[in-house]
Amino acid sequence: MSRFDRNICLFGAEGQERLRRSHVAVVGVGGLGSHVVQQLALLGVGALSVVDGEQISTSNKNRYIGVREDDPIPGTYKVDVASRMVRNIDSSIEVCKIPDGLISVDAFSAVRKADYVFGCLDNDGPRFVLNDVATAYAKPYLDLASDVVEGSFGGRLVFKTRAPGCLFCFGEFDQNEIRTFLEGPEDRLNREAAYGIDRAHLDQAGPSVVSVNGTIASLAVTEFMIACTGLGEPKQFINYRGEKALCAERIFATKLGCPYCGQWNSGDRADTDRYLRATFADA
């Protein structure tokens, strides 16, 4: 009996083979991304690139899948935890670890080589860049976000494929976060001098709970499975509201002339390397 027989009962041997041939990049392997990595390994994908430049902290241990009690803090990179978890599930899966942030040569290369991309990021700045790069190189892109505020908890996923409709179309970008992320060091210093230290530089972590993250990750991995195996047509936008026990597809009219949907498969012509040039010029 094959370890994947129960998968094959749902989407067939050819679907399982498609999973094994797939190379998936997961950008951000924290509270959401660690769930995604675990489930992709259990599904049987053939290759994973995991991108994250951060180390785990003590407060991460309430929700990061694969973290051990004796993992040293500081000193344990999130990509090492993710790679170890995959190795323990299925050592035949090829794992490429990129202990760096999204705006790096290796991270951009991983996105361009992947068949599918998962974005599990906390901020709309890098989310905006990842949406841009994935779209330019025609990579189906699943963007995950959890949301826990007083009286409400849940999240959403957006699946950008060739079809019209993306994070920009759906109004999911915070322009202030993007502007702050992309500004140069001189602009940052001027802003902080005028308005004080930016919240991003302070320890302002909000609520984050393992089960909520796991629900969003499971929804996203299910849509990936549907698309990759040919089981059906994946949903573009799914909302989850935990306090209402509600999970529903969200329908939007896409923006005509969207600059991001319009650059699907434009490749090098989109010049997404401009983000790298700007970052290295500021260094």
Domain membership of residue 156 as a residue range: 5-173+207-282
The confidence score (pLDDT) of residue 89 equals: 97
Q: Is residue 66 part of a domain?
A: yes
Confidence class for position 189, pLDDT limits 50, 70, 90:
very low
Q: Is residue 217 part of a domain?
A: yes
Q: Is residue 27 part of a domain?
A: yes
Q: Is residue 254 part of a domain?
A: yes
Please state the rounded mean pLDDT for residues 3-16.
96
Report the CATH number at residue 221. 3.40.50.720
End-to-end CA distance of the chain: 54
Block residue for tokens 């675990």: 38
For 140, the token pair is: 């189906």
Per-residue pLDDT tens for 77-113?
999 999 999 999 999 999 999 999 999 999 999 999 9
The confidence score (pLDDT) of residue 132 equals: 95
The confidence score (pLDDT) of residue 193 equals: 43
Q: How far apart are CA 72 and CA 100, in angstroms?
A: 19
- How many separate domains does the chain show? 1
The confidence score (pLDDT) of residue 195 equals: 39
Annotate 127-185 with DSSP letters as a single string. HHHHHHHHHHTT--EEEEEEEEETTEEEEEEEEE-SSS--TTTTT---HHHHHHHH--H
Per-residue pLDDT tens for 222-266?
999 999 999 999 999 999 999 999 999 998 777 778 888 889 999
Distances (CA, A) of 30 to 16, 67, 80, 139, 182: 27, 10, 12, 22, 22
Q: Is residue 190 part of a domain?
A: no
Q: Is residue 227 part of a domain?
A: yes
Q: How far apart are CA 140 and CA 133, in angstroms?
A: 11
- Nearest Cα neighbor of 34 from 60, 59, 57, 16 is 60
Checking if the pLDDT of 196 tops 70, the result is: no
Who's near 147: CB < 8 A, 6+ residues apart? 153, 154, 155, 156
Confidence class for position 159, pLDDT limits 50, 70, 90:
very high
Q: Is residue 219 part of a domain?
A: yes
Please state the rounded mean pLDDT for residues 127-142.
97
Checking if the pLDDT of 282 tops 80, the result is: no
Q: Is residue 135 part of a domain?
A: yes
Would you say 240 and 216 are in contact if contact means Cβ atoms under 8 Å apart? yes
Q: How far apart are CA 16 and CA 10, in angstroms?
A: 10
Annotate 211-238 with DSSP letters as a single string. HHHHHHHHHHHHHHHHHHHTSSPPPSEE
